Amino acid sequence: MTGKNVKRVAVFISGRGSNLEALIAASKVRDCPYRIVAVLSDNSEADGLELAARGNIETFAIPRSDFGSRSEHEAAVLNALNAIEPDIVCLAGYMRLLSADFVGQWKGRILNIHPSLLPNLPGLETHKRALSLGMRIHGCTVHFVSEGMDDGPIIGQAAVVVRTDDDEDVLAARVLKAEHRLYPEMLRLVATDRIRMSSGGATIFDDASAPDCDDIVLISPVPLKR
């Protein structure tokens, strides 16, 4: 991968930054088609900012409380972003809904990771809700961002089996592990132009006609072979 083909990625975070960490780690592997050039946060205390600084990645703390209105805050974020000039923006636990105007300006270039198999369970407390619904499969989704919350064309998903003895924390940890595998891989697909956002959803540009997994997987709460 030559320098000019390597995509510049800005990551937006609000907290812990474990997905950021996974993206940074993946970007260090030889021939990775992207590099993380900046990390922006609406929370100056976000652990992920320290993590980025330790990796010599430029950081921008832009707290909402420094601004009188949501739109002024977003204008400051947009300004910073326009100065960074990334090719792709990755939301990784960024707890703010971007306005239609913001999304419009960066259309097809913003990705998000969400801890459920969308369109199931948008919003918060996804693990708790998956357990109380008795779902046997849960997981995470990387998607292009559109104006709605946890909405937009799906790029890829990781399925996670729900075990009968799972509690919320155990399930959350298993999904998070899946997130750390999924996000770098899906960003790679976007960075190498193998998938792009289009008016009909996401358009795939690749020779492969089948997903990289078995077509059917049965998930039962009890063993099927007795």
For residue 125, give the nearest of 112, 134, 114 by alpha carbon. 114
- Minimum distance from residue 13 beta carbon to ligand GRF (Å): 6
Task: Scan for tokens 């559109």, then name that residue.
Answer: 146
**Which CB sits closer to ligand GRF, 20 or 31?**
20
* Strand 88-91 with 34-41, pairing: unpaired
Do 159 and 130 touch, CB atoms closer than 8 A?
no
CA pseudo-torsion sign 180, 186, 190, 191: positive
Q: Applying CB under 6 A, which residues contact ligand GRF?
A: 13, 15-19, 92-93, 113-115, 140, 176, 179
Kindly name the residue from 114, 138, 143, 180 that is annotated as catalytic: 114
- Name which of 108 and 122 has its Cβ closer to ligand GRF: 122
Query: Distance (Å, rounded) from C-alpha 61 to C-alpha 42?
Result: 6
> Does 138 participate in catalysis according to the annotation?
no
Shortest CB 226 distance to ligand GRF, Å: 37
**Shortest distance, CB of residue 114 to ligand GRF, whole angstroms?**
5
Which residue lies nearer to ligand GRF by CB, 75 or 131? 131
Catalytic center residues: 114
